[in-house]
Amino acid sequence: MIDLRSDTVTKPTQEMRQAAFEAEVGDDVYGEDPTVTRLEHEAARILGKEEALFVTSGTQGNQIAVLTHTRPGNEIILEENSHIFYYESGAVAALAGVQTRTIPGVKGEMDAGIVEAAIRVEDQHFPETGLICVENTHNRAGGAIVSPENMESIYSVARNHSVPVHVDGARLFNAAAASRIDVREFTRHCDTVQICLSKGLGAPVGSIIAGDHTFIRKARKWRKRLGGGLRQVGMIAAPGLVALTTMRERLMEDHEKAAVLKEALQSSHGIRVVNDVDTNIVVADIKGSGLTTEGFVELLKDKGILIAGFGPHTVRFTTHYDVSMDEVEKAAMILKSL
């Protein structure tokens, strides 16, 4: 099977397995796991933040950020198709007790003027705006890159109103690789950031949240409250460290694979590519094929390709380390023959 459902399906490399096997460990709740400490220091350095914290997943990282930045009854501003709003099981309402104010984006980017207009003024009737979230790359916008300029304009507005900005950067390294700039060109325009080790970077488990010392101290407490304080966590931090230090450079290869799929889909009858394919995600409208999303997913499965349903008439192809260019070219041939 050529598995293009998500970059979350990657399995740990031999080097990651070896690193897990050999990891020096200790009880991290006592702050005694040298491997996770090394991972957190390295992550903070790469992301240009004072401190970082290892968390179990992207969802946990985002939720800890929302819990740390806000109080129940706050309102948070996010893009209307953002992962935190769309795919996290209503956690911000269930856990943080905040309400959401969604803003339509263009290719994942929110307009800073619209964000500013959505920030609440002081009035006894209104909730307080507790947080603005930006997603980069933007998953439902098809892995779209939110430019540093857009992030800067939103951060500037946010600071004028003393509202913090959190970036869901599950795939932020894809944005940096495709833009050929240091990831800090993005992270300097936010207070806190979450990055996933277990997507394009290929680690089996884990995410990082990063911010200033005060944020991380509070976030550590929320992680504990949520049951995310782990013990000999070096076992899974070690592959995360391999992912963070050795797998960023090669993300461009995934983008090249996505470009091959894009080209194939564009020449398939009844299929329309709807995103720009900035990075490793291709979204296709399959209405013209006469099939439902489920029918299309099944058809490709019968031909040896796994993809993800994305909407009533849309599907998502995601490239990653565990599909080779040969496999992608094979998938492209099949798609062209549809």
Do 220 and 53 contact (CB within 8 A), yes or no? yes
Among the listed residues 84, 83, 146, 85, the one whose alpha carbon sits nearest the alpha carbon of residue 112: 146
Radius of gyration of the chain (CA): 20
Question: What one-letter code names the amino acid at 167?
Answer: V
Residue closest to ligand TLP, measured at CB: 58
Q: Which residues, in sequence order, are CB contacts of 77 under 8 Å at separation 6+?
A: 101, 102, 103, 110, 115, 118, 119, 129, 131, 132, 133, 163
Q: Least CB distance from residue 175 to ligand TLP, whole Å? A: 11
10 binds ligand TLP (CB under 6 A): no
79 binds ligand TLP (CB under 6 A): no
133 binds ligand TLP (CB under 6 A): no
Q: Which is nearer to ligand TLP, 6 or 319 (CB)?
A: 6
Q: Least CB distance from residue 54 to ligand TLP, whole Å? A: 13
196 binds ligand TLP (CB under 6 A): yes
Q: Least CB distance from residue 106 to ligand TLP, whole Å? A: 17
Whole-number Å distance between alpha carbons of 29 and 298: 45
- Binds ligand TLP by CB under 6 A, chosen from 49, 69, 83, 255: 83
Q: Which is nearer to ligand TLP, 119 or 132 (CB)?
A: 132
166 binds ligand TLP (CB under 6 A): no
3 binds ligand TLP (CB under 6 A): no
Q: Least CB distance from residue 160 to ligand TLP, whole Å? A: 27
Binding mask 41-70 for ligand TLP (x = CB under 6 A): ----------------xxx--x--------
Q: Which is nearer to ligand TLP, 119 or 307 (CB)?
A: 307
Q: Which is nearer to ligand TLP, 144 or 338 (CB)?
A: 144
Whole-number Å distance between alpha carbons of 152 and 167: 12
Q: Least CB distance from residue 302 to ligand TLP, whole Å? A: 22
Q: Which residues, in sequence order, are CB contacts of 1 under 8 Å at separation 6+?
A: 304, 305, 306
Q: Least CB distance from residue 321 to ligand TLP, whole Å? A: 15
Q: Least CB distance from residue 7 to ligand TLP, whole Å? A: 7
Whole-number Å distance between alpha carbons of 208 and 173: 13
Q: Ramachandran region of residue 231, left (φ > 0), alpha (ψ -120 to 50) or beta?
A: alpha
Q: In what order do the strands lie in the sheet with 75-79?
A: 51-55, 207-211, 192-196, 165-169, 129-135, 75-79, 99-103
* Residues within window 278-337 making contact with ligand TLP, judged by CB under 6 A: none
Do 175 and 109 contact (CB within 8 A), yes or no? no
DSSP 8-state symbol, 109: B
- List contacts with ligand TLP (CB under 6 A): 6, 8, 57-59, 62, 83, 87, 135, 139, 168, 170, 196, 198, 207
